[in-house]
Chains A and B, each alone.
Chain A
Amino acid sequence: MTNYKLSPRDWEALSAYLDGALDGPDQARLHTRLTNETGLNAALRQLEQTRSMLRAAPQRRRPRGFTIPAALAAKLRPATSSFGLWRLVSAAASVLLVAVMAGQFLDGAAAPMMATMSEEAPQAFMLEMAVEESATAEDTAGAAASEIVPEEADLAMEDEALRSSPASKMPTQITLSPEQLVWGLVVVVAFSSWMAWQQWRKLPDR
């Protein structure tokens, strides 16, 4: 009898049986076993005794009351949770990441993805800068400039401006490899997820 072994499932069934939490067929099956297996019956009685002991555990007397005084309540403003916001940011970043990765695969771009500015755009920008500079130079140029044909003067100024203006030192391309893009998004997703996790941990009823 003392060697009677119960499986974890048996113990679980006995425990649920004690609380009347077994389904009809399971309860009937266990009931039959209990009438035939004295070891199982003894285990049930032991478990019942343990439960009785736990139920008889005296309640601990609390050392004080826990009502909230008005002075404290005045300081306790209702908490405003930014959990929802961070969850939204996290979700948006995740969607963006998936969209970018899907876009890359659909493009079949084996070569590095280039976010290239158009060729015309920087030149137009630089020309504009040059014309502005030349306008100030024109005021001090004097009579020598007036001898030159206007169209030629404009072209000469543009060429000079393109060579000497700070705008000519601007990069003409901004290159982002797929890895850089993905890593950037991963960082955003990780950060927003971490913030959401921190907010969630502060919830008392999480």
Chain B
Amino acid sequence: MDEIALIQAAQQGDLDAFNRLVLHYQDMAFNVAYRLLGEDASAADATQEAFIAAYRHLDRFRGGSFKAWLLRIVVNGSYDELRRQKRRPQTELEPENLEGEDNAEPAWLADPGAGPQELSERAELAAAIQRCLKELDDDFRSAVVLVDVQGLDYSEAAQIMKRPVGTVKSRLARARTRMQSCLQGFAELLPDRFRLKTEEA
């Protein structure tokens, strides 16, 4: 994919070119929104709105990393949505079982070849991570989602968060230690390879 050519064509009004960019980035955009918002429907809305905003304001993109520019829009839109939710709190519609715990989430089962044990472990890991992410402050959550979960480097994360690289480093460090403490609470539910060996410390 010649990204620069697609961006230039999209800036000239070529919708197909823009939609090819959407196809390339939509999984990442949705996952960032989901990690920040913690809910499918809101994340899908935030992602769609982000792509619409990107299409409308494509003339504001003046080079550099298109991925960083796009994810900045996704992050901003997600935090706008979070602020709206805080102003108008709603009852969560997530399905719960009789014990009041979340049911296994079929949306995590992206790999149909995985066995039941592996699928169960993935679901547990995903749920534990999501619960711990929810406890973090916004900037800490952004840092850990962008760098650790999405695998971006520090400079890309700094562009997206509009913070200096040093700030991203320190927030990421604090976010990791908080995630570590939080995930220790789920130790029994996690796969063996992820059980934190605190006794060694």
Interface residues of A (CB under 8 A from B): 1-2, 4, 8, 11-12, 14-16, 19, 21, 39, 42-43, 45-47, 49-68, 70, 72-73, 76-79, 203-206
Interface residues of B in 94-122 (CB under 8 A from A): 107-111, 122
Residue numbers in B under 8 Å from A206 (CB-CB): 76
Interface residues of B (CB under 8 A from A): 15, 18-19, 22-23, 26-27, 29-31, 34-35, 40-41, 43-44, 47-48, 50-61, 69, 72-73, 76-77, 107-111, 122, 125-126, 129, 144, 147-149, 151, 154, 169-170, 172-174, 176-177, 179-180, 183, 190, 194, 196-198, 200-201
- Are B129 and A42 in contact (CB-based, < 8 A)? no
- Are A70 and B172 CB-contacts (below 8 A) given A65-B26, A205-B73? no
What is the CB-to-nearest-CB distance from B75 to chain A, in angstroms, rounded to a whole number? 10
Of A8, A14, A61, which contacts B110 at CB under 8 A?
A61
Known contacts A50-B183, A206-B76, then 4 further A-B pairs from the complex at CB < 8 Å, ordered by chain A residue: A11-B176, A54-B176, A59-B31, A73-B55
Name the prevailing secondary structure of the A interface residues.
loop
What is the CB-to-nearest-CB distance from A24 to chain B, in angstroms, rounded to a whole number? 16
Residue numbers in A under 8 Å from B111 (CB-CB): 58
Bound-complex Cα distance A205 to B159 (A): 11
Bound-complex Cα distance A47 to B190 (A): 16
Of B22, B77, B110, B180, which contacts A46 at CB under 8 A?
B180
Listed by A's residue number, 17 A-B pairs whose Cβ atoms lie within 8 Å are: A51-B176, A53-B125, A53-B190, A55-B148, A58-B125, A60-B30, A61-B107, A62-B26, A66-B22, A66-B30, A66-B48, A66-B51, A68-B22, A72-B52, A204-B53, A205-B57, A205-B73
Residue numbers in A under 8 Å from B107 (CB-CB): 60-61, 63
- Are B76 and A205 in contact (CB-based, < 8 A)? yes
Residue numbers in B under 8 Å from A21 (CB-CB): 154, 169
Bound-complex Cα distance A7 to B16 (A): 52
Of B19, B54, B60, B173, which contacts A15 at CB under 8 A?
B173
- Are A39 and B201 CB-contacts (below 8 A) given A50-B183, A50-B196, A60-B30? yes
What is the CB-to-nearest-CB distance from B19 to chain A, in angstroms, rounded to a whole number? 4
Residue numbers in B under 8 Å from A51 (CB-CB): 148, 176
- Are B201 and A12 in contact (CB-based, < 8 A)? no
Query: Which residue, of A4, A58, A64, has the highest number of chain B Cβ atoms within 10 A?
Result: A58
- Are A59 and B27 in contact (CB-based, < 8 A)? yes
What is the CB-to-nearest-CB distance from B184 to chain A, in angstroms, rounded to a whole number? 9
- Are B108 and A54 in contact (CB-based, < 8 A)? no
Of A45, A47, A62, A205, which contacts B176 at CB under 8 A?
A47
- Are A16 and B173 in contact (CB-based, < 8 A)? yes
- Are A68 and B201 CB-contacts (below 8 A) given A53-B190, A63-B40? no
Residue numbers in B under 8 Å from A73 (CB-CB): 15, 55
